A and B are shown apart, each in its own frame.
Chain A
Amino acid sequence: MSDYDKIRSVAVVHLLNRLLSIRMAIMLPILILFIPGMAWGFSDPKVMLPGGITPSSATEVMFYTSLGIVFGATMCAVLLSFDGVSKDRASGVLEIKLSQPMKRSHQSTALVVGHWLAILIPTWILWALSFIIVNYRMGDWPSIVDLLTSFLSVALILLWYVLFSLIASTHAREQGTSIAFGVGVWFLFTFLWALVTTMVAFASGVSIGEENDPKWIDLEGLLDLFSPNGVFHHLLETRLTDIERGVSPIVTWVVAMVWSIIPWYWFNSRMKTIQP
């Protein structure tokens, strides 16, 4: 059996364990409510969003539907993978796995891929369903590039949260610490990042919340690069022509790569030195 086959087999084991778990059954209704549910609501021809905004295209509707990814799917990613390593470590199974003739870097790759696919597959299915719903309600399809960008962005944000949770799981010796770290990171980037942005703006002398102030827009755009949710929205905004927040698409994609590579490298390093 080649290294690739081993990685694939072990990743499938993790994938099936998570995909068929009770917690997935609990989270699936939440995902359905957040993703296709939001798509249905935002594609209503009579919808009026705060600020008098009415989405006029499928891409725009899906941009607003991405809130379901930020609030629902990322939380599910955390809840699905927070004990990816710590559970095996606490039970002693990790010692058995570490004593197998499979490189630790390969084991960590299989862990990441397995957990990532476990949340990505249902989310992508619901995301695709949302496009169908939007087309049904509005009669509009996004372009192929818009579709690819949105699916790729969803995949990346889920990867980041899976990586954060798995890193926490390697550091935690028991489940409580691991879930506290995962949920804490999620809470920081989902709810508290606005506070961080506000504080930095205040310290920089920029008017807070002035949507027409270019300085505020640029600062918010810049600080969003330091948050996975912010980068996710930057990625989606690369396909929206009427939004300009001072960050070029190239910078956005480079930052997205950095958000993917550094946590993955960190997790891989942790797995190389982890002790049972």
Chain B
Amino acid sequence: MSDVVLELEDAAFRHSVSSRSLSKPFGRKQGSGIFSINLKLRKGQILGLVGPNGAGKTTLMRILAGIYPIQKGKIMYNNSKSSQPSSISEMELRSVVGHMPEQVRWQGKTTVKRTLIDIAEMRGVSYRVDGILAMVGLSEMKDSLLDQLSQGMRQRLTLATALLGSPEILLLDEPFNGLDPVAIRAFEKLLDELAMKGVSIIISSHRVAGMVHIVDRLALLHKGQLLIEGTLQDIESEFQLDNRIEVHGPGEMPDFNTLISDSKSILESRNSEHGWTVVVRNKDVNLLEKLVSSNIEISTWKAKDTDIVEMICSATGLELEEIGFNVVSSTMMPYKNRGEEE
């Protein structure tokens, strides 16, 4: 197992929000944030941080970027010279972390290269700008004005700012927004190369499917709490979301109860104008053979992707309607698998 580079120990941060009343016109109270997060990031690892809107992903990223100071807990950092992680200040954190925020709207009459140099001077690394522009595919655009950039180009420029100074840890907040499929592929390749060189990467996203093939581990965040962290297989296995097959076919839905002995294995079934869809737990290895021998026409047979909603429902034991995906700062989620209230 590779070395732990960064570790969060019971890290907590809550935003201060306005709470005005007649008696306290300037009153403030604690709002949303993150609660008691324990997380380890290892050298060369790509960690996917997933969660719905308002889960606390961006807050956690900003804490790791040294922008928000944690109010409780510790951030530990392990540089290559020491064997044990030690506490790190926000300023030190900023020097080892490259941060790519979500949707930066670069604008103005400044050129791409000038902008990157301006940011680089804050890091003290202005001499490396050309190489980074080439790395993110902006060499040809280096003399373009910021106002002329498309959203995808702006994303690349934001990534370039995160790569300045060869950071050991890279934080990418919704990095694929606005990128075309070709750019996404190139981006993923770049991330792979960086991870191979030992850069540890955290990617935040509200979509699991878009990044399962590039991340080594996933951390599921909801309402400021870390529900679970592990490989996708571990998480699917813990939540019993693994070994699921989604079968589509034309016409009327066949009677699956006659084909599958355990009716509980049928997780979902529905009809539509295009045919039928059934999701089954694939305990019966001969199911496909049974379907074919029963002359049931099938058009699709595939492993079912896991999405965030399923993970959260499984983690909390609540239905979608009960969870309510409105962002409520103070509501703590139960964690079914631990059998306790968080």
A4 CB to nearest B CB, Å: 12
Interface string of A71-108 (1 = CB under 8 A from B): 00000000000000000001111011111111100010
Contacts of A13 in B (CB 8 A): 118, 121
- Which of A10, A91, A97 has the largest count of B CB atoms less than 10 A from its CB? A91
Contacts of B119 in A (CB 8 A): 96-97, 100
Q: Within the complex, what minimum Cβ distance (angstroms) separates A32 from chain B?
A: 23
User: Which residue from chain A places its CB closest to the CB of B68 in the assembled complex?
Assistant: A275
A49 proximal to B (CB < 8 A): no
CB distance from A176 to the nearest CB of B (A): 17
A92-B101, A276-B67 given; A100·B123 CB < 8 A: yes
Contact of A204 with B by CB under 8 A = no
- Contact (Cβ within 8 A) B101 A276: yes
Which residues of chain A are within 8 angstroms of B128 by Cβ–Cβ distance?
A: none
Question: How extensive is the interface on chain B, given as a class?
Answer: 20 to 34
- CB-CB under 8 A from A21, the residues of chain B are 109
State A99–B122 Cα separation when bound (angstroms). Answer: 10
Chain B residues lying within 8 Å of A103, measured Cβ to Cβ, are: 91
Q: How many A-B residue pairs have CB under 8 A?
A: 70
Closest to B67 in A: A98
* Cα–Cα distance between A90 and B101 once the two chains are bound (Å): 13
For A91, the chain B residues whose CB sits under 8 A away are 104-107
Q: How far is the CA of A13 from the CA of B108 in the complex (A)?
A: 14
Interface string of B97-132 (1 = CB under 8 A from A): 101011111111110000000110111100000000
| A47: min CB distance to chain B, Å | 42
Q: Among the listed A22, A96, A102, A107, which residue makes an inter-chain contact with B99, where contact means beta carbons less than 8 Å apart?
A: A96
What is the CA–CA distance of A27 and B66 in the complex, to the nearest angstrom? Answer: 39
Q: Which residue of A lies closest to B107 (CB)?
A: A91
For the complex, give the distance between the alpha carbons of A21 and B110 in Å.
Answer: 10
A1 at the interface (CB under 8 A from B): yes
Main secondary structure on A side of the interface with B: helix
* Pairwise interchain contact A92-B105, C-beta atoms closer than 8 A: yes
Contact across chains for A275 and B122 when beta carbons are under 8 A apart: no
A102 contacts B122, C-beta separation under 8 Å: yes
Contact flag A99-B104 (CB < 8 Å), given A6-B121, A13-B118: no
User: B107, B110, B122: which contacts A100 (Cβ < 8 A)?
Assistant: B122
Residues of A within 8 A of B67 (CB): 95, 98-99, 275-276
| Interface presence of B166 (CB below 8 A) | no
Closest chain A residue to B165 by CB distance? A101
- Check: A9 CB closer than 8 A to any chain B CB: yes
Say if the beta carbon of A17 comes within 8 Å of chain B. Answer: yes
Do residues A99 and B110 form an inter-chain contact, with CB atoms below 8 A?
Answer: no
Asked whether A95 and B121 contact (CB < 8 A) given A100-B94, A101-B95, the answer is no
Instruction: Check if B94 sits within 8 Å of A99, measured CB to CB.
Output: yes
Residue of B nearest to A20 (CB): B109
Cβ contact within 8 Å between A95 and B122:
no
Report chain B residues within 8 Å CB of A93: 104, 106
| Least CB separation from A90: chain B residue | B105
Residues of chain A contacted by B62 (CB below 8 angstroms): 95, 276
B158 interfacial by beta-carbon distance below 8 Å? yes
A6-B121, A10-B121, A10-B122 in contact; A99/B105 too (CB < 8 A)?
Answer: no
Contact B103 A92 (CB under 8 A): yes
B121 nearest CB neighbor, chain A only: A9
Q: What are the residues of chain A within 8 A of B124 when measuring CB–CB?
A: 1, 5-6, 101
Identity of the chain A residue whose Cβ is nearest the Cβ of B118 in the assembled complex: A13
Per-residue CB contact flags for chain A residues 122-134 toward chain B (1 = under 8 Å, else 0) read 0000000000000
Interface centre among A21, A22, A96, A275 (most CB of B within 10 A): A96
Please measure, in the bound complex, the distance between the C-alpha atom of A100 and the C-alpha atom of B102, giving whole angstroms: 16
The interface residues of chain A lying within 8 Å CB-to-CB of B105 are 90-92
On chain A, the residues within 8 Å of B91 by CB distance are 101, 103
B161 in the interface (beta carbon within 8 A) = yes
Separation of A98 and B108 alpha carbons in the complex (Å): 20
Sampled A-B contacts (9; CB under 8 Å): A96-B99, A99-B65, A99-B94, A99-B97, A101-B94, A101-B122, A275-B67, A275-B68, A276-B62
6 tightest Cβ-Cβ pairs between the two chains A and B = A1-B124, A101-B95, A92-B104, A100-B122, A99-B99, A9-B121
